[in-house]
Amino acid sequence: MTQFLPDNLLALFEARPPLPYKPPPDDLLIDRKRPKMSGLSEYIHLFEDPKDTPPKPVYESKEERRARRRKEKEELLAYKIEQGIATWNPAQNPSATTDPYKTLFVARINYETSESKLRREFEQFGKITRLALVHDKNGKPRGYAFIEYQHKESMSEAYKKADGMKIDGRRVVVDYERGRTQKSWLPRRLGGGKGDTRRLRESKAVLEAAALEMAHEDRDHRSSSTHRSYSHDRDREHNGTVSNSRRHSRSRDRDRDRDRDRDSRRYDDHRSSRDGRSDGDRDRDYRDRDRDRGRDYDRRRH
């Protein structure tokens, strides 16, 4: 069809000339020259030797630091106790009394109590040979003393009667000397001794408080359960009373309806019987009236 078009229209359908060729600015990827691939063995000597690398610093948290210090302190204390046990020998104490079986140990003494006051209080049990009130290196009293009696019976009597005696506002504790009479005895500073420490007393107080709190909780729980059971029983009784009253009311209504039905049936029977008799009488009256009317009509004809 286009061959029949004029030249001016054919010029509109002519193709454009092709794009001119331009060489690429860079070489193609295929034609590029790349460096040769090689291993890293020739560069190993340039790296740092792992042996010369400094160790990584260790950072510990507050909890870890606290645990480490506690462990170090416990180890140091255990070492000191072990050394003290190895060097402890109460038989070689120059300040000790003469006879350990006549010596009474007195603890929890008031720091202001004097030696003369202590002697005066314990002389009531027997004659005292020696009284040693222990002081530290600075001359301050340690709160305990050793009293040696002349007779063993006096020491036994003081051991039985002086325990808990109040001196200068404090109750003392007495015991016989155990350091030289028991081979396995160790003082408190070396892990032995009798009684409890302050830490143990505090822990016991905490346990007693927890036990008391648990007892209060159990009592509250029992009281609440008792109140709940009482409320349940009361509600059950109330519900039973209500149900019984409802049952009685329904039975009364049922009896009342039954009586009403019985009365209505009686009334209907009575009415029906009465109505039956009245209908028969009425029919009889009608028949008699018709018969009389027929007789009168026949008379007038004749």
Alpha-carbon gap, residue 192 to 100, rounded angstroms: 19
Number of residues written out for the chain: 302
Q: How does pLDDT run across 46-70, given as a tens digit for each residue? A: 888 888 888 888 888 999 999 999 9
Q: Is the pTM of this model over 0.75?
A: no
pLDDT of 242 = 46
194 vs 249, residue with greater confidence: 194
CATH number for the segment(s) 93-194 = 3.30.70.330
Collect all residues with Cβ–Cβ distance below 8 Å to 93 and sequence separation of at least 6.
Answer: none
When pLDDT is averaged across residues 193-206 and rounded to a whole number, the result is 64
pLDDT of 262 = 63
% the chain with pLDDT above 70: 69
User: What separation in angstroms does the CA of 205 have from each of 17, 43, 194?
Assistant: 107, 72, 19
pLDDT of 5 = 85
Q: How does pLDDT run across 214-230, given as a tens digit for each residue? A: 887 777 767 666 655 55
282 vs 185, residue with greater confidence: 185
Q: How does pLDDT run across 82-100, given as a tens digit for each residue? A: 988 888 888 777 778 888 8
Q: Considering the chain, what is the average pLDDT of its residues?
A: 78
> Coil, helix or strand for 175?
strand
**288 pLDDT higher than 50:** yes
- Strand (E) or helix (H) holding 23: none
Domain ranges of the chain: 93-194, 196-246
Residues facing residue 149 across a β-bridge:
128
Collect all residues with Cβ–Cβ distance below 8 Å to 154 and sequence separation of at least 6.
Answer: 102, 125, 126, 127
Among 169, 145, 149, 171, CA closest to 158: 149
